[in-house]
Structure 1
Amino acid sequence: MPGNETLSNLWPLLLYAAIVAFLLTAILLLSYFLGQHHQDRATRLPYEGGIQQSGSARLRFSAQFYLVAMLFVIFDVEAVFIMLWALGFYELGWAGYIGAAFFIAQLVVVLIYEWGIGALNIGPDTRAIFKAYNRLKTNKAV
């Protein structure tokens, strides 16, 4: 019967799931019964970590922060693709190598473009700081 064969192939998975469920329940129950129970004033406050809460949680961040975060996520996902390509390097052959080289070349072009438009400048404008410094230096020399 095909049903018995499927069930006999699944028994290790079912046994594993049962052991995990048992251990999870045992750990939670033991920590509840053996753990400390206290009702301090700060216990019910959010962000209980030693820092007092101040101000609103609705902070405004500059759009530059979100742009850098999106760039990080994009390049992080692309790194995963390159890692997967590296795992199948020998099976993919030259076609895979050329495809990966093209992919990395596109990444380099996009990175240069983003650098050129200033998407990676999250600190103070260094050119403006150097201009102000040179102006200050020139005025002191006069």
Structure 2
Amino acid sequence: MYLKSRAGILPSFQPYQSFQLSLSQWVGTNVPAIVPWALSFANGMAILGFLFGRVHRMLPGRNGAAKGIIFGLIGWVLMGLIFFPLIGLGPFAIRAGLGTAPAMLSLGMLLTYSVVLGTVYFALDAWNPTFSR
């Protein structure tokens, strides 16, 4: 998201702002802008990392990148069908009015993260087979 912002990619697509507005509606008061960012960071760092650590051996693929792609695709579908509609952007953020660009951007971001995650887990497993047991 930082690179998206710095490079000027889809400047009108601001999912953190949509998330912030939704959070404010849910809790009934203004939510600081740092909250949706921190929740997204914690989700990516802790929850998704932990979940990948638990399921990576069950994912199809012969290497970490392939397993990461599968994990990223699953995450993208869930994000597109659950998270984006939950924050008012519709399935795959189609209500953002930008066509398929937000969906493709989120796919690229999730695949980048999950391929790196898969590659790191694969390398750690090769280095120490008891790492993720």
Please indicate, yes or no, whether the TM-score normalized by the shorter chain is above 0.5.
Answer: no
| TM-score normalised by L of structure 2 | 0.25
Larger relative contact order, structure 1 or 2 (CA cutoff 8 Å, min sep 6): 2
Bigger radius of gyration: 1
| TM-score normalised by L of structure 1 | 0.24
